[in-house]
């Protein structure tokens, strides 16, 4: 079955539900993952710094315990060169053990509490080492001064002329336990930054891996929503355009599967209802069928309303019945009635019934039509044109019956009737009852006496648009059977 254009094509990307829900879901998850990644990165960096501080503190304390305190206390610049050699060898060995150490040094007080002097300084870059006896102002480094009391490490990087570094300090004690100097261990900021950069790369790598998995899951989830939703929307659109054979038939056991089953049941019910209405509409007028099917219940009785009744009859029908075989007669009759029905339908008329070759039609019932007289006049003229087309294809049957052509008589009258359902609760018929129906039948019969084809009553002519009946010919007043008053008729 050919379907109409997919209504999803008219939607922008953000108007599509599955894109909105998956995007919101993805954004929320990404934000949570980014927050988790940032928190994880901060915790890893903090853990690294805490570990580094502990390692530096332990290293400084262990180194301080192994240093000759008495010799350092009695050291003076330019003397005790073996001490410098001993310290340099020891610091060099520690530097090889801890590759991230940048410098190791021993400081001793020099005069004031914050004025210190270098006893010895080892650096990986020999040119960066301080000279023995070089003074150092520790007034801006309180943690360094705390090192004279016990092992301690800085909480954050400190920058001096040797660069930015993280340091730990421990007291060097003499034989009597008195602090004579401090030993310091430095790790340059670039070393810390390199470790943090590695942690960042690891965090970003894990995050991108998770984002990739998330994107894949989002695509899969979006497709699981989009495809069945698109099927249901497309099917619903096709159904709204009258394609009642459309079915979704999703092979799923989730909510979409239940929706598809319910949709298919609804489509089957609509198809059955449409079939019933179409079939019902072949036995009664489509207008009547729609009205009856739309009603919550069918009630006997009707309503009084002004209508225009059209009646027609086929001239010589009994002769055709004698001359033609039943199958040929039915074929001819169906051809004729079908053509007349189309002419009446074109003007919105309601065919009440076919009685053999006779047609009873009404305008302004059951639907309101303020121009019902005009419609009936146009329908009568349309039936005349339709008869010409019927004659063009019915030559064989007409000649076999001994006629030159098919002819019919039409009578049109406007008046008040009661329109509605009559019969019983098990058998109903929609019809119109009243004097107007009898008068229309009598006017149709007058055509035989007057040798005319279409006659309309004075009431119809007066109710119709003057332009529609401008060429009508007055055929006078006639007394009709079953009515005291005369009827004035006009020939179209």
359 plus 217 within the same structural domain: no
Instruction: Report the distance separating Cα 376 and Cα 361, nearest Å.
Output: 9
69 plus 204 within the same structural domain: yes
Query: From residue 323, how far is each of 326, 335, 384, 399 by CA, in Å?
Result: 9, 17, 24, 10
Q: How confident is the model at residue 58 (pLDDT cuts 50, 70, 90)?
A: very high
Hey, is 284 helix, strand or coil? Answer: coil
Phi and psi based region of residue 349 (left: phi greater than 0; alpha: psi -120 to 50; beta: remaining) = beta
Q: Is the pLDDT at 286 greater than 70, yes or no?
A: no
Q: Is the pLDDT at 244 greater than 80, yes or no?
A: no
Mean pLDDT score, 396-414: 88
The answer to whether residue 18 is domain-embedded is: yes
Query: Given this model, what pLDDT does residue 282 score?
Result: 52
Query: Given this model, what pLDDT does residue 351 score?
Result: 93
Indicate the range of 36-40, 200-204, 292-296 predicted with least confidence: 292-296
The answer to whether residue 69 is domain-embedded is: yes
215 plus 314 within the same structural domain: no
Tell me the average pLDDT of the chain: 83
Phi and psi based region of residue 32 (left: phi greater than 0; alpha: psi -120 to 50; beta: remaining) = alpha
Last residue of a domain, one of 172, 203, 224: 224
58 plus 170 within the same structural domain: yes
Query: Given this model, what pLDDT does residue 185 score?
Result: 92
- Range 274-291 burial, b when 16+ CB lie within 10 A, else e: eeeeeeeeeebbebbbeb
Instruction: Report the distance separating Cα 87 and Cα 104, nearest Å.
Output: 10
Residue 197: phi and psi, rounded to 5, are: -65, -40
Indicate the range of 205-219, 333-347, 435-449 predicted with least confidence: 205-219
Last residue of a domain, one of 195, 224, 253: 224
Instruction: Report the distance separating Cα 259 and Cα 225, nearest Å.
Output: 13
81 plus 209 within the same structural domain: yes
Is the CA virtual torsion 290, 295, 300, 306 positive or negative? negative
Identify whether the C-beta of residue 218 lies closer than 8 Å to the C-beta of residue 25: yes
Mean pLDDT score, 425-435: 82
Residue 205: phi and psi, rounded to 5, are: -60, -45
Task: Give 174-185 as a DSSP string.
Answer: -TTS-EEEEEEE
Residue 383: phi and psi, rounded to 5, are: -65, -35
The two tokens of residue 114 are 């914050």
Give the burial class of 467: count Cβ atoms within 10 A of its Cβ; 0-12 exposed, 13-18 middle, 19 or more buried: exposed
Mean pLDDT score, 230-256: 75
Q: Is the pLDDT at 151 greater than 90, yes or no?
A: yes
Identify whether the C-beta of residue 320 lies closer than 8 Å to the C-beta of residue 396: no
Hey, is 359 helix, strand or coil? Answer: strand
Instruction: Report the distance separating Cα 309 and Cα 414, nearest Å.
Output: 6
Query: Given this model, what pLDDT does residue 241 score?
Result: 74
Query: Given this model, what pLDDT does residue 220 score?
Result: 74
Indicate the range of 118-122, 123-127, 327-331, 360-364 predicted with least confidence: 123-127
Indicate the range of 41-45, 84-88, 303-307 predicted with least confidence: 41-45
Instruction: Report the distance separating Cα 106 and Cα 58, nearest Å.
Output: 16
218 plus 345 within the same structural domain: no
192 plus 322 within the same structural domain: no
- Domain hosting 160: range is 1-224
456: domain CATH number? 3.30.70.1230
Last residue of a domain, one of 163, 192, 224: 224
Give pLDDT tens digits for 74-92.
888 776 678 888 898 888 8
Mean pLDDT score, 105-123: 90
pTM for the structure as a whole: 0.49
The two tokens of residue 326 are 């039943």
Instruction: Report the distance separating Cα 206 and Cα 200, nearest Å.
Output: 10
Token pair 């050699």 is found at 85
167 plus 45 within the same structural domain: yes
81: domain CATH number? 3.30.450.20
Is 418 or 252 the better-scoring residue by pLDDT?
418
Is 152 or 24 the better-scoring residue by pLDDT?
152
305 plus 220 within the same structural domain: no
The answer to whether residue 425 is domain-embedded is: yes
Q: Is the pLDDT at 426 greater than 80, yes or no?
A: no
* Omega within 30 of 0 (cis) for the link into 57: no
Q: Is the pLDDT at 407 greater than 90, yes or no?
A: yes
Token pair 């949709």 is found at 263
Q: How confident is the model at residue 314 (pLDDT cuts 50, 70, 90)?
A: very high
Range with top average pLDDT, 105-114, 205-214, 372-381, 466-475 = 372-381
Query: Given this model, what pLDDT does residue 446 score?
Result: 94
Query: Given this model, what pLDDT does residue 2 score?
Result: 45
205 plus 324 within the same structural domain: no
Task: Give 142-161 as a DSSP string.
Answer: HHHHHTTTS-EE-SS-EEET
Query: Given this model, what pLDDT does residue 1 score?
Result: 42
Instruction: Report the distance separating Cα 412 and Cα 197, nearest Å.
Output: 99
Q: Is the pLDDT at 263 greater than 90, yes or no?
A: no
Residues 6+ apart with CB under 8 A from 271: 244, 245
The answer to whether residue 271 is domain-embedded is: no
Give pLDDT tens digits for 178-202.
999 999 998 876 656 666 677 677 7
Task: Give 15-54 as a DSSP string.
Answer: G-HHHHHHHHHHHHHHHHHHHHHHHHHHHHHHHHHHHHHH
Q: Is the pLDDT at 311 greater than 90, yes or no?
A: yes
Task: Give 41-88 as a DSSP string.
Answer: HHHHHHHHHHHHHHHHHHHHHHHHHHS-HHHHHT--TTS-HHHHHHHH
Is the CA virtual torsion 338, 343, 345, 349 positive or negative? negative
6 plus 98 within the same structural domain: yes
Is 305 or 292 the better-scoring residue by pLDDT?
305
Give pLDDT tens digits for 323-371.
888 888 888 999 999 999 999 999 999 999 998 889 999 999 988 999 9
Q: How confident is the model at residue 288 (pLDDT cuts 50, 70, 90)?
A: low
The two tokens of residue 397 are 């049957």
The answer to whether residue 236 is domain-embedded is: no
Angle at 402 between CA 400 and CA 404, to 5 degrees: 105
Query: Given this model, what pLDDT does residue 179 score?
Result: 94
The answer to whether residue 371 is domain-embedded is: yes
Range with top average pLDDT, 160-174, 359-373, 412-426 = 359-373
211 plus 326 within the same structural domain: no
Query: From residue 386, how far is each of 340, 346, 390, 491 by CA, in Å?
Result: 7, 12, 6, 18
Query: Given this model, what pLDDT does residue 453 score?
Result: 96
Identify whether the C-beta of residue 114 lies closer than 8 Å to the C-beta of residue 103: no
Is 336 or 231 the better-scoring residue by pLDDT?
336
Query: Given this model, what pLDDT does residue 294 score?
Result: 54
The answer to whether residue 429 is domain-embedded is: yes
If one counts the domains in the chain, the total is 2
Q: Which residue, among 338, 385, 328, 330, has the nearest Cα to 359 in the 3D structure? A: 338
Query: Given this model, what pLDDT does residue 195 score?
Result: 63
The answer to whether residue 234 is domain-embedded is: no
Q: Is the pLDDT at 242 greater than 60, yes or no?
A: yes
């Amino acid at each position: 079955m050919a379907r109409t254009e997919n209504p999803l094509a008219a939607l922008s990307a953000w108007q599509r539900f599955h894109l909105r829900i998956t995007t919101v879901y993805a954004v929320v998850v990404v934000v949570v993952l980014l927050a988790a990644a940032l928190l994880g990165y901060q915790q890893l960096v903090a853990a690294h710094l805490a570990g580094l501080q502990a390692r530096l503190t332990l290293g400084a304390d262990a180194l301080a315990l192994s240093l000759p305190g008495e010799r350092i206390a009695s050291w003076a610049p330019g003397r005790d060169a073996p001490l410098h050699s001993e310290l340099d060898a020891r610091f060099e060995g520690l530097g090889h053990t801890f590759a991230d150490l940048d410098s190791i040094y021993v400081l001793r007080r020099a005069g004031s509490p914050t004025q210190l002097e270098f006893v010895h300084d080892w650096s990986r870059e020999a040119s960066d080492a301080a000279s023995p006896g070089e003074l150092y102002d520790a007034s801006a480094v309180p943690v360094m001064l705390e090192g004279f009391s016990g092992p301690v490490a800085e909480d954050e990087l400190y920058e001096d002329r040797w660069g930015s570094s993280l340091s730990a300090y421990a007291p060097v004690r003499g034989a009597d336990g008195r602090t004579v100097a401090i030993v310091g261990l430095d790790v340059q900021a670039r070393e810390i930054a390199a470790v943090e950069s590695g942690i960042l790369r690891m965090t970003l790598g894990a995050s991108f891996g998770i984002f990739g998995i998330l994107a894949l899951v989002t695509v899969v989830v979006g497709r699981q929503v989009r495809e069945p939703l698109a099927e249901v929307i497309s099917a619903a659109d096709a159904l709204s355009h009258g394609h009642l054979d459309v079915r979704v038939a999703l092979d799923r056991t989730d909510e979409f599967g239940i929706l598809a089953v319910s949709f298919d049941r609804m489509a089957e019910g609509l198809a059955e209802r449409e079939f019933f209405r179409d079939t019902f509409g072949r036995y009664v007028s489509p207008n009547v069928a729609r009205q009856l099917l739309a009603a919550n219940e069918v009630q006997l009785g009707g309503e009084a309303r002004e209508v225009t009744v059209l009646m027609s009859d086929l001239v010589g029908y009994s002769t055709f019945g004698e001359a033609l075989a039943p199958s040929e007669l039915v074929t001819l009759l169906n051809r004729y009635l079908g053509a007349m029905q189309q002419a009446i339908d074109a003007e919105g008329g309601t065919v009440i019934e076919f009685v053999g070759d006779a047609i009873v039609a009404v305008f302004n019932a059951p639907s309101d039509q303020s121009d019902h007289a005009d419609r009936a006049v146009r329908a009568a003229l349309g039936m005349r044109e339709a008869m010409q087309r019927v004659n063009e294809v019915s030559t064989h049957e007409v000649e076999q019956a001994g006629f030159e052509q098919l002819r019919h008589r039409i009578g049109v009258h406007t008046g008040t009737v009661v329109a509605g359902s009559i019969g019983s609760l098990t058998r109903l018929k929609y019809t119109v009852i009243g004097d107007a129906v009898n008068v229309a039948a009598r006017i149709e019969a007058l055509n035989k006496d007057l040798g005319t084809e279409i006659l309309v009553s004075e009431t119809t002519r007066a109710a119709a648009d003057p332009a529609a009946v401008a060429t009508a010919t007055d055929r006078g007043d006639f007394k009709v059977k079953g009515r005291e008053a005369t009827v004035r008729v006009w020939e179209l």
